[in-house]
Amino acid sequence: MHRVPHRSRGTRCGALAAVTLLLGGCATKRPGDFTVEVPKAVTDARGRFSEVYCTVLREHGPALPDYRPCSEALSHVVDSPIGPGRRVELGESTAHLVAALVPGIGYGCVVEWMKPGPGARDHLRRFGYDVRMIDVDALSGTSKNAVMIRDAVMALPVEPGPPRLVLIGYSKGTPDLLDALVSHPEIRPRIAAVVSIAGAVGGSAVADEASESMADMMRFFPGAKCDKGDDEAVASLRPSVRKAWLAEHPLPADVRFYSVVTLPDEARISRILKPTYRQLEKVDARNDSQLIYTDQILPAGTLLGFVNADHWAVALPIARSHPWIGSLLVNHNDYPREALLEAILRFVEEDLGSRQEPRTTPPP
């Protein structure tokens, strides 16, 4: 086995520690004690989504990495709604949705080092879905990245029939997406839905304690190909900035929005993320180490569920390619991401189908 020199390990750990400030109850709550508030303007679909996710986990999860039963994959929230009990279809997709993922801060700096692999894409293609990435600047603010998202969407070929593109934002990728939808409305007719996963909708108080120079440390990850961009990534994540933006920019009514919120038990927070978890705990223990749960819920649309994963575990498979870091620092990074993504697309496909307006015959 190749040994990593001591200095290299120290450099990597230092850079990784810096990322904890950026990627963006009580201290000892036991599983089952979480209580949550769902905004009145939000449709609560947790019951049906749990049926879909639990079925996917039961039928497909054991063959996928990082399997967990549904009781461990979903957060322990009291008074969770019960689903309608309808059958969950797990066959070939009829809509053939395409998930286009917009990553969080610094992703372009660490992706070569992390080596995420094609697991999610390969799994979803078995069922008629597809997955692609939308490249954005790792260290730029939302306005610049919104232009990049707009250009990526407009470059896709226009296909007959209803749109199939589901834009999925993770962490800072969510405000990047929201900015693109508001600032560039020409992309909306091409989009079937928008999903936020652990999205920094209302910003992160962790960003108030961080700086752009700390974000720049991610440029020194092994294999990093990112540059400083416009050097506004951290500023764009501050709660004052995000909340002011939301107040001035109502979300468009012609787009379907969905939220997946990370709300882990304290025991599911990785060691390296505990300091920022403790920092946010002073405000609200219901956080994922980077975001308080209320700041992850889109102010309109549909809430899919709360998942028992910290901010990194839900999207970044660090421990799969770097097991020594997984055992030492990112020790709760295992999460059934492929199954979660499948469940999201299956729910969205079902929901879009149930809401389709009947076609009208044009006048002669």
109-144: per-residue pLDDT in tens? 999 999 888 889 999 999 999 999 999 999 999 999
Closest CA to 197 of 309, 109, 83: 309
Q: What angle do CA 34, 62, 291 make, to 5 degrees?
A: 30
Is residue 172 a contact partner of residue 104, using CB atoms and an 8 Å limit?
yes
- Residues with Cβ within 8 Å of 106's Cβ and at least 6 positions away in sequence, in order, are 19, 22, 23, 138, 139, 215, 218, 226, 233
Alpha helices (H) in 158-204, listed in sequence order: 173-183
**Residue-level pLDDT at 22:** 46
What are residue 315's phi and psi, to 5 degrees? -140, -25
* SS3 at position 267: helix
Residue 21 lies inside a defined structural domain of this protein: no
Q: Does the CA dihedral 15-306-205-147 come out positive or negative? A: positive
Label the pairing between strands 301-307 and 42-44: parallel
What average pLDDT does the chain have? 89
Q: Tell me the residue ranges of DSSP E strands in the chain.
A: 42-44, 98-102, 130-133, 165-170, 191-197, 257-262, 301-307
Altogether, the residues listed in the chain come to a count of: 364
Above 90 in pLDDT, residue 56?
A: yes
**Residue-level pLDDT at 285:** 95
- Residues with Cβ within 8 Å of 24's Cβ and at least 6 positions away in sequence, in order, are 104, 105, 171, 172, 200, 204, 206, 207, 237, 290, 291, 311
Closest CA to 257 of 341, 351, 171: 351
Residue 16 lies inside a defined structural domain of this protein: no
Domain that residue 119 falls in: 29-351
Residue 300 lies inside a defined structural domain of this protein: yes
CATH number at residue 157: 3.40.50.1820
Residue 139 lies inside a defined structural domain of this protein: yes
- Tell me: the pLDDT tens digits for 166-176? 999 999 999 99
**Residue-level pLDDT at 187:** 98
Residue 182 lies inside a defined structural domain of this protein: yes
Give the C-alpha separation, 159 to 101, whole Å. 20
Is residue 298 a contact partner of residue 60, using CB atoms and an 8 Å limit?
no
Residue 19 lies inside a defined structural domain of this protein: no
Above 60 in pLDDT, residue 12?
A: no
Above 80 in pLDDT, residue 357?
A: no
Residue 206 lies inside a defined structural domain of this protein: yes
What is the layout of strands, in order, in the sheet containing 98-102? 42-44, 301-307, 257-262, 191-197, 165-170, 98-102, 130-133
Full-model pTM: 0.89
Instruction: Please give the tally of structural domains in the chain.
Output: 1
Residue 178 lies inside a defined structural domain of this protein: yes
- Tell me: the pLDDT tens digits for 183-201? 999 999 999 999 999 999 9
CA distances from 94 to 114, 207, 249 (A): 33, 42, 34
Tokens 């079937």 locate to: 192
